Chain A
């Protein structure tokens, strides 16, 4: 099918297969269709269908709360084209020459609990993927409605194995499905890489990572990319990892290794929101600092000393990301230096 997206500046036409969402079809062909979560929860990919037939998969997607379906409003991530169609999109669009995201199949293996509700898993792809540090993929499993976004923890070029981490939430069907599959393998469809909250060593900037819970995933990829480039020889960075209690922290050994190899230029603080600290340094990994408080408040304390041009990466639950963004803006970080991922 041919899908044409229009906005006030013009229009673009692209192919759309029968079994892919309009959003994915556009993104894989290099068109920057607006989106944020890619999974039906945020509403950013809204569009109005002005002609043609479409199928909407998840009609009750929370991101569609403010739309008017009777006027043709849809979320592009939930919509498939049944005929050639025309959509109006309320944002500027450009086509990029860079390789866009693609669909692959993947097999989940190597499930391994890291804490009581956080699990690491490896995703083995049918074909290699290259991605930038900080990007994510959306996984979809047969029988579970909707996709889930996960940031890559590893960083390698042209790789067939993605390392991902999931935090189990009450009622979270994907997390439950993964935890229940602990001993086996599971097949998923993988779309990606996606995301603009990326780190590129050639930008030559000092940076700060502020992560809540599983938001630390993409930060690990950023640190791995930086370590491979020996970036901390002449740049500095701070990491603030927010969890509830020390027992909820994970990847501490890796974080400690990154800090130890950083020529003293990588500072890592674990911020405990639900526990008071008994000592300022971690007992087993004394290169890691400990602090009590919400991660954005802990990060804000030292903000006056940050490099004025620092890039701030933020990832975690939406409320934590919003609170952190607010603290960064009030603290004087220009919005062009703020890169974030928000997964509902």
Chain B
């Protein structure tokens, strides 16, 4: 477990999406009211920056580019979403938001396909 400090939880208003850099790793934190999520900064669909195009409402994060969306309580994919959202584990200690960052989370294509030189398709 490598817990790293992101910010004070109070710095992120409810229903907002904010970008942070922690030890050279860029991530986005979402306050969805019932909790927080820390995720890679881009949408797993077409790499749209979520700090700009992401919107949180009623516990659902939607990327406004093509309407991919995830219920942040369960991470269940909504509508036409085809790829799951990757997340860093988060916790709060005395009002400080921490994320468990072992290494940067990135989205790969077809990592189960067995084509070893193709695992960064569209990365």
Contacts and interface: CB of A to CB of B under 8 A. Distances in A.
A165 B119 CA distance: 44
A48 B121 CA distance: 8
A53 to B, nearest CB: 19
Interface in B22-77: 46-47, 53, 55, 57-58, 62, 64-67, 69
A326 B64 contact: yes
Tell me if B's interface is mostly helix, strand, loop or mixed: loop
B79 A88 contact: no
B73 to A, nearest CB: 16
Contact of B109 (A90, A326, A332, A335): A90
Nearest to A333: B57
Contact of A338 (B58, B65, B67, B122): B67
Report, as a range, how many residues of chain A touch the other chain. 20 to 34
Interface stretch (B84-92, B98-106, B110-118): B110-118
B55 A326 contact: yes
A44 B46 contact: yes
A328 B110 CA distance: 33
B11 interface: no
Contacts of A88: 109-110, 118, 121
A325 B79 contact: no
Nearest to B79: A335
The binding surface of chain A is classed by DSSP as mixed
A84 B98 CA distance: 52
B112 A336 contact: no
Contacts of A336: 79
A330 interface: yes
A12 B23 CA distance: 44
B67 A335 contact: yes
Contacts of A276: none
Nearest to B54: A326
A75 to B, nearest CB: 12
B57 A330 contact: yes
B8 interface: no
Interface string A76-107: 00000000000010111000000000000000
15 contacts: A44-B66, A48-B121, A50-B118, A66-B122, A67-B122, A88-B118, A88-B121, A90-B110, A91-B82, A322-B64, A326-B64, A329-B55, A329-B62, A329-B64, A336-B79
